[in-house]
Structure 1
């Protein structure tokens, strides 16, 4: 039985058509029936319970080659044999979730991805990256956190023939390796980032452009990312600091926990600040890095207050996008939903957040962020006051 199942796994992994036939099943019973019929056709007789998806699948074998276009990387595994890129079958499902990792969780619940896996050694992943098959990256979105970045990613993703990646975990993992491991320093780290971007941006449905919303701490790795993708235009989104701190106090992002980001990344002092002060110092690190990065080519600062109109008025031309009437209509429709819950209509919350701000939040914002916010506002002023008039309402992140 074990040999028959193994042989069937290998046959399926070599046949993109069979992968499509099995990979689109959400119901385990339908998957099992299709799989048994396919195995019988191949002369491989599987027992009735031989294809019950296990709770957690183990990769069947390492491969030097990338899988077909319908597969995307979902994580980098740390194993005794070194890092491995773990892929999952997505088929032609569009990436419409607010965050890439939500799409990963859904894909991994499918029976196919519990029985069939593809893993690639990191060196093979880099060295065997194909020269085609990925939508070209047209723009990167950096941000301070809780400042409209999810809205921007959702709006860009509403455009036709577009891949919009929102904080993809595999790219974060690749960036951490490039920053922290000596064997991925320099050009090798840049090659890893380019390979991961190409893998995540695969044109599974003929997409012609890709946009990536990065994680908020990634602005601190700007030199490394910019060296890997030197010609890709980028924006940095920011918001009135008190509003962002109130959001963080409601629910802290992992980026505001120094132990959860690469060691030594934040300059937050040697004391033990309270949560308001700690978050403000971390966000000040983001702003300072953004201001340094804006001295390099291809960058643009965008104030949350100018969204969503700034996407048409400033971000689109900065990303060298030509928008037709249908594109503008799609952007307008996407701008009306709550970015974290696109089926809900967004209700502006900036007044409520300012009213909710505690004295500790206001003091931390004033001392750590006020001056930096003013500098970014001056940089963003080049966009022009008309940017916020193209659409009438902003959407939340």
Structure 2
């Protein structure tokens, strides 16, 4: 298909039918991606499409790699991995204040591709990786002509796909953001994320074996997930020399300054001032000033995760 016809279109949803894996497409009308999560961007684009097109824009998944060839897109500047509730959303929001940056925050389509091998018999990691590289080209398209950098914030469990990302992009910097497991757990107990709901994400992705999980205790389950996340951080740091480790406690602007330095991303004085003002507000609710307190005692089942956390702090 002509790249002119595909300009500004993105593949946004997969459906596994009896005949094939189908891919649904959406016109983004060149609007910047500035929402806290990409689900919000998809909903905005759907409204711009009138809430429902007179006919569905659907293709087979196998056309992605061919259709991506020749697109004008920005190569990834960095992948931002995180253990959730650790400031990564605010960091992505700060980066998105610059028109030079495309920021993709937890794109559902990327997650769907990465998890296909766990959901579709016979679908392997190589297929998934090739399709992911093609999808990133669509999402990283140059829409306004001002884009120079592409930052991709993954879902938290994508840390277990680190090797796939590294094979596809051997020289792209990787940011690893983390936070005290106690504070992350407290946040999930208040408002659970997908990874904190027992069994919602395929347990095999985390490396869990049958009988290893405590499904009837979401708090213990979340602690087990956090322990796996932090273990994976240790493994990556030991083998990947293109990683930047950042603790939530450093504060959003300190993290931003390290990220732009590590990725060679220019940041002028006005850009710093704009980001500094935005950093005072809630990452997911931009109109609310941010504040939080945690006063519950640390549970014993969090001990292993806390030990891994303190070990990261000593690096």
TM-score, length basis structure 2: 0.90
* Contact 1:100–1:166 (Cα < 8 Å) also in 2: yes
Distance 1:183 1:298 in 2: 33
Determine if the alignment matches structure 1 residue 165 to structure 2 residue 109. Answer: no
Displacement over 6 Å in runs of 4+: none
TM-score, length basis structure 1: 0.72
* Contact 1:178–1:185 (Cα < 8 Å) also in 2: yes
Match of 2:309 in 1: 373
Match of 2:301 among 350, 361, 364: 364
**Whose radius of gyration is greater, 1 or 2?**
1
TM superposition shift of 1:273: 6.0
Number of residue-to-residue matches in the alignment: 308
Moved more, 99-108 or 75-84: 75-84
* Unpaired stretches in structure 2, ≥5 consecutive residues: none
Moved more, 69-78 or 211-220: 69-78
Determine if the alignment matches structure 1 residue 324 to structure 2 residue 261. Answer: no
Distance 2:71 2:97 in 1: 24
Q: What do residues 39-66 of structure 1 show as CA deviations (whole Å, max 9, x unaligned)?
A: xxxxxxxxxxxxxxxxxxxxxxxxx666
TM superposition shift of 1:251: 1.3
Match of 2:80 in 1: 141
Q: What do residues 311-348 of structure 1 show as CA deviations (whole Å, max 9, x unaligned)?
A: 3431111112122222222221221221111122223x
Moved more, 132-141 or 311-320: 311-320
Match of 1:103 in 2: 41
Match of 2:139 among 179, 192, 200: 200
Match of 1:73 in 2: 11
State the SS of the aligned residue for 1:77.
strand
Match of 2:241 in 1: 297
Match of 1:218 in 2: 158
Paired residues for 1:1-397 under 5 Å: 67-109=5-47, 110-111=49-50, 113-178=52-117, 181=120, 184-206=123-145, 207-266=147-206, 267=208, 269=212, 274-295=217-238, 296-347=240-291, 349=292, 352-353=293-294, 355=295, 357=296, 359=297, 361-365=298-302, 367-379=303-315
TM superposition shift of 1:257: 2.7
**Distance change >3 Å, CA 86–CA 271, structure 1 → 2:** closer
TM superposition shift of 1:165: 0.9
* Unpaired stretches in structure 1, ≥5 consecutive residues: 1-63, 380-397
- Highest relative contact order (Cα 8 Å, sep 6+), 1 or 2? 2
